[in-house]
Structure 1
Amino acid sequence: MRARNLAVVLGTIHRSGPNTRAALAEMTGLTKTTVSSLVSDLLEAGVVTESGAVRGGERGRPGVAVSLSGHRVATLGLEINIDYLAACVVDLTRTVRLRRTRPADNRNSSPAGTLQGLRDLVKETTAEAGEAGLRIIGAALAVPGTVEGGVLRNAPHLGWRDVRIADLTDLPFAIDNEANLAALGELWFGSRAADFLYVSGEIGIGAGLVVGGTVFRGTFGLAGELGHVVVVPDGPACRCGGQGCLEVYAGQDALLGDLGSVAELVARLESGDRRAVAACERAGHALGVALTSAVHLMDPGRIVLGGIYAPLFRWLEGPVAEGLGVRLAHMRGTPPALVVSGIGADAAVLGAAGLIIQRLIADPAQVLGL
């Protein structure tokens, strides 16, 4: 009962913002004595803070506001991408306190070597967080592949299969698909809309469907493999074994060609380079075809383009919107809103950190050992 009540009180503080203990008692239906005891426990754990005078005290007198604290407790988001490792420390107010990225060539890499590099990054980042007075209570890792039961089942661009990532850190730990966590990052740190389809453009192309503030994962957790939607049935071979997949036309490799980075592609686009513009037009056309199928199946009201599509949005938006508009005109009139991610390349690592925050809010007693 106490664990449930802790979750009720902390969840109310999280949703409603600063409130007095008396107001929290009224909002939760718990007694003032119970709320006062629970708030004291949360204060001691460093999860909430009391400050300032607000209306809501007994008999109309100003009371002290209880709110989430960003001073003592934080979470760690991690990401393995094809060309970098990333770590991000986020406090309970969802403020980013540290962000570290290490360039790395992880394509067809050794799991042992890459994970050792990530362990080193975890040690470095948690040490810096400790120096700033923050206690990391848990970590989550975003990976570019399918995940089942804590096992990375298949990450074709890494060249990994059936890799169990269990001893990365002593912290409570979770692992999930990059696109799912990026969608949650957009939900919690970006647009904050409750319903949307998030499209993560990287070497591969993933998608996360957020419905009512929750990611839809499918029966086996494999929902969102947008990159393997066929856009040209007799097109070039894809590494998945199929032909004409979206990834072949709109993945990072297809967009960059012989260029070395997305930044270089953006520079070419800004200078009006015809090859670069044509590459974005081809990618945008293919993306419009694939998203038309997604709209027919899932009927999202908003489509968010993230990952490498964020810096390329101004050149992709037109071809994608045109493709959607033409194909959906007779079915629904107005296509879903097409918008750029507000957090770009940070979406997955922020979503990973946010996942642990949500677990804390849902069950503070278990996460904090209260």
Structure 2
Amino acid sequence: MRARNLAVVLATIHRSGPHTRAALAERTGLTKTTVSSLVSDLLEAGVVTESGAVRGGERGRPGVAVSLSGHRVAALGLEINIDYLAACVVDLTRAVRLRRTRPADNRNSDPARILSGVRNLVKEITAEAEADGLRVIGAALAVPGTVEGGVVRSAPHLGWRDVRVADLVDLPFTIDNEANLAALGELWFGSRETDFLYVSGEIGIGAGVVVEGTVFRGTFGLAGELGHVVVVPDGPTCRCGGRGCLEVYAGQDALLGELASVGELVGRLESGDPRALEACERAGHALGVALTSAVHLLDPGRIVLGGIFAPLYRWLEGPVSEGLGARLGQMRGTPPALVVSATGADAAVLGAAGSIIQQIIAEPAQLLGL
């Protein structure tokens, strides 16, 4: 019962902002004595703080506001991508305290080597966090593949199959698909809309379906494999074994061609390079075809383009919007809003850290040892 009440009080503060102890008692239905005891536990654990005077004390007198604390407890987000490793430390107020990115060539990689690099990154960034007075409570890892029970079942671009990473760090630890965590990153750190389709453009193309603030995963956790929606039935062979998949036309490799980076592609686009413009036109057209199917199936009110699609958005927006409008036709009045991600390349690593923050809020007793 005490664990449940701790969660109720912390969730109330998280959801609706600072409150006096008296106001918390009124909002939660708990007695003032119980709330006072619970707040004392949360203060000791470092997840809340008391400061300032606000109206809401007994008989109208100013009371002390209880709010989330960003000074002692934090979460660690990690990401293994095709060409980098990333980590960030986020405190309970969702402020990003530390962020690190390491370039790396992770294609068809040795899992042991990559995981060793992640461990080194974890040691470095957690040491910095501790030096700043932060206690890292847990960690989550985003990977570009399908995940089941701490095992990366398939990550084709990494060249991984059935790789266990559950013992990666000496912290409470979870692992999830990159696109799902990126969608949650957008939810918690970006637009904060509660219903949308998030499209993650990388070498592969994934999608996260957010419904009422929750990611829809499907029966086997494989929902959102947008990159393998067929856009040209007799098109080139895809890595998955199919033909004409979206990834073949709009994935990072297709967009870059011989170019070395997305930054170089943006430079070419800004200078009006015909080949770069043609690549984005072709990718946008294919993306519009795939998203038309997604709209018919899911009926999202908003589509968010993230990953490498974020810096390329101004060149993709036109062909994607035109493709959606032309194909949806009379079956749907106004196409869903098409917007650029507010979190950009950081979406997945932020979503990973945010998922731990959510766990702390939901189960403070278990995660904080209260």
TM range (shorter): over 0.9
Q: Secondary structure at the match of 2:170?
A: coil
- Counterpart of 2:76? 76
- Counterpart of 1:285? 285
For the residues of structure 2 that align with 1:331 and 1:362, how far apart are their CA atoms? 41
Offset of 1:101 from its aligned partner? 0.5
Deviations for 1:322-367, whole angstroms, at most 9, x for unmatched residues? 0000011211121000000001000000000000000011110001
- Counterpart of 1:256? 256
For the residues of structure 1 that align with 2:298 and 2:238, how far apart are their CA atoms? 25
- Counterpart of 2:130? 130
Deviations for 1:134-176, whole angstroms, at most 9, x for unmatched residues? 0000000000000011110000000000001022110100000
2:310 counterpart letter in structure 1: A
Q: For 1:319-334, what aligned pairs fall within 5 Å after superposition?
A: 319-334=319-334
For the residues of structure 2 that align with 1:278 and 1:328, how far apart are their CA atoms? 24
Offset of 1:216 from its aligned partner? 0.0
Deviations for 1:97-141, whole angstroms, at most 9, x for unmatched residues? 000011100000000000000000000000000000000000000
For the residues of structure 1 that align with 2:342 and 2:133, how far apart are their CA atoms? 29
Q: Secondary structure at the match of 2:9?
A: helix
For the residues of structure 2 that align with 1:36 and 1:16, how far apart are their CA atoms? 18
Does structure 1 residue 234 correspond to structure 2 residue 234? Answer: yes
For the residues of structure 2 that align with 1:30 and 1:236, how far apart are their CA atoms? 63
- Counterpart of 1:24? 24
- Counterpart of 1:33? 33
Extract unaligned runs of 5+ from structure 1: none
Give the total of aligned pairs: 370
Q: Percent identity?
A: 87
- Counterpart of 1:95? 95
Runs of 4+ in 1 over 2 A off after TM superposition: none
Deviations for 1:23-76, whole angstroms, at most 9, x for unmatched residues? 000000000000000000000000000000000000000000000000000000
- Counterpart of 2:317? 317
- Counterpart of 1:66? 66
1:56 counterpart letter in structure 2: G
- Counterpart of 2:213? 213
Q: Secondary structure at the match of 2:324?
A: helix
Q: For 1:172-183, what aligned pairs fall within 5 Å after superposition?
A: 172-183=172-183
Offset of 1:14 from its aligned partner? 0.2
1:280 counterpart letter in structure 2: C
For the residues of structure 1 that align with 2:72 and 2:355, how far apart are their CA atoms? 18
- Counterpart of 2:201? 201
- Counterpart of 1:104? 104
Q: For 1:355-366, what aligned pairs fall within 5 Å after superposition?
A: 355-366=355-366
Deviations for 1:277-316, whole angstroms, at most 9, x for unmatched residues? 0000000000000000000000000000000000000000
Extract unaligned runs of 5+ from structure 2: none
Q: Indicate conservation of the 8 Å contact 2:141/2:174, yes or no.
A: yes
What TM-score do you get using the length of structure 2 for normalisation? 1.00
Q: Indicate conservation of the 8 Å contact 2:166/2:174, yes or no.
A: no
Q: Secondary structure at the match of 1:171?
A: coil
Q: Secondary structure at the match of 1:284?
A: helix
Q: Secondary structure at the match of 2:93?
A: coil
